[in-house]
Structure 1
């Protein structure tokens, strides 16, 4: 199939409109999760640095714009062009505008993770490498956006901008994988404490890091693979609609999970106090030192992991 300009006889809605509808509905559900997570964050994490709150606010506002563009795209493809499949030879303008919005969301989140990697590892090389890869992906995206807006045929656009689009998606995936690996290794190095509670907390942080990092990188790899293998339809674009909301939710999940660590830390502190009362003054002194060490060690790792 050399062009998406189809007659009514060879038009296949399952490969054109279907992926957009499915991806759009799932993206809307993910955006709802993002809104809920943002509410929890601003309600419970009031002591966070202003820069971190600004980053979360920017992601939320950008994804709101992405949501509006997605609704407009669905309207255009299912209502405005109904009965005239030839108009689907190009992406709607709203879809073109959603491309830079999604790239800005990914750039903000990847910059946050690069900064977190620097705080944890205290090594500047990997964070700089990750940020450079993210900048390359961002520039690649912004370079082909004008061509996307002015395109007259989607197949021709995909052929002409193949390298830039693939570079952008692969660079995003590479950046996520590097930061995830770097943060997990940095946390693993902090497991040197012999205290079981501290090791458990760090293991939990490692698990959460891998979980959120792999989710975003696998989404980027999936979009890139579908784009390279199925350029003749909109399957790749349907998956792409979900990708920026997955990225945004990974950021908010990473921030809001700190609340669980705080609650566990308070519970462990209360448990230590009860044990001290039960076992008497002599045992209380023996248990106070490891408890204090755990609190100091845990607070240190936790504060580094917060940023």
Structure 2
């Protein structure tokens, strides 16, 4: 009786339940955004490759399982264990399943980005390096998940597995950084090639570079934040609350990069139409400056860069 009273006295809900509650609610909101983006993708890009649709379907279904695990965890920590903090000495079973779900989501997305890098660069070195880091991180996460099922004390588990957890976070972050740098460099290299003579194509590549850096910056900062919180604040669940949001952030970045194609096309259409309208209003004197370059037979020259829809 005295031990239970002592544990209840030493228990700080603000450092244990609070971060998990906030992270779980933000994760649920992120999953709602992911569901909306998935609906937009399937409604607007019906002609996409079946493999790409399978990737999006896998991500949304896995994150649905992750969402159920998050709701179960919140129920356990706020209702089932109410008045008995000693039960929170280990993670609920739903958390162990959430670890598996999140690892598969991140692995699928990182593999997709590695494939995108190979399609752009046509060089196997960087994509293979990225995939190696992703496989290493996935293997470490599966080992951690297996050990989490048999843990008896959360504090002892964090201390014994801290290096393994940190290495998995580092491998994920390095994979994101290499993929981002490789895709941006490949796009910049194509932009500087002599085959691109269309101004709209150069504008599109510029936007692809900026968008790649922006979306990758969000996911990279997220995993770095989780890693720093884990290393600095091991005594509480702040890092775990941030970790609950991480897979949904990764999934939203993937869907955002796919749905961005529609906005890019509309913006390019507006930009290409406005010069033509201005040229017609001036008597057509400027129409030749926006004409596509022609080859020797007077046919429009075709760019050797594939359409963005085939790469993204």
- Give runs of aligned pairs for residues 21-60 of structure 1, distance below 5 A: 21-60=21-60
Q: How many residues align?
A: 302
Moved more, 143-152 or 186-195: 186-195
State the secondary structure of the residue aligned to 1:257: helix
Matches within 5 A, 1:208-287: 208-271=211-274, 274=277, 287=290
1:207 aligns with 2:210: yes
Given that 2:93 and 2:149 are in contact with CA atoms closer than 8 Å, whether structure 1 keeps it comes out as yes
Query: Does the CA-based 8 Å contact 1:16-1:233 persist in structure 2?
Result: yes
Mark the CA change 1:286 to 1:234 in structure 2 (over 3 Å): closer, same or farther. Answer: closer
**Which structure's residues are more often helix, by fraction?**
1
Show the counterpart of 1:19.
19
Moved more, 94-103 or 189-198: 189-198
1:160 aligns with 2:160: yes
* Shift in CA distance, 148/33, structure 1 to aligned 2, threshold 3 Å: same
Question: For the structure 1 residues 81 and 273, does the alpha-carbon distance in structure 2 shift closer, same or farther, using more than 3 Å as the test?
Answer: same
Contact 2:28 2:67 in 1 (8 A): yes
CA distance in 2, matches of 1:295, 1:252: 33
Q: Which residue of 1 aligns with 2:139?
A: 139
CA distance in 2, matches of 1:291, 1:155: 69
How far is the alpha carbon of 1:294 from its aligned partner? 9.9
Secondary structure of 1:7 counterpart: helix
Unaligned runs of at least 5 residues, structure 2:
none
Distance 1:294 1:29 in 2: 48
Q: 1:170 to 1:96 in 2, by over 3 A?
A: same
Contact 1:6 1:86 in 2 (8 A): no
8 A Cα contact 1:198 1:298, kept in partner = no
User: What displacement does 1:142 show?
Assistant: 0.5
Match for residue 302 of structure 1?
A: 308
Distance in 1 between residues matched to 2:105 and 2:166, nearest whole Å: 18
Residue 278 of structure 1, CA deviation:
5.7
1:26-50 superposed Cα distances (whole Å, 9 cap, x missing partner): 1111001000000000000111100
Q: CA deviation at 1:268?
A: 4.5
Provide the C-alpha distance between the structure 2 equivalents of 1:269 and 1:298, rounded to a whole number of angstroms. 20
Unmatched tracts of structure 1, length 5 or more: none
When residues 295 and 194 of structure 1 are mapped into structure 2, their CA distance, relative to the original with a 3 A threshold, is closer
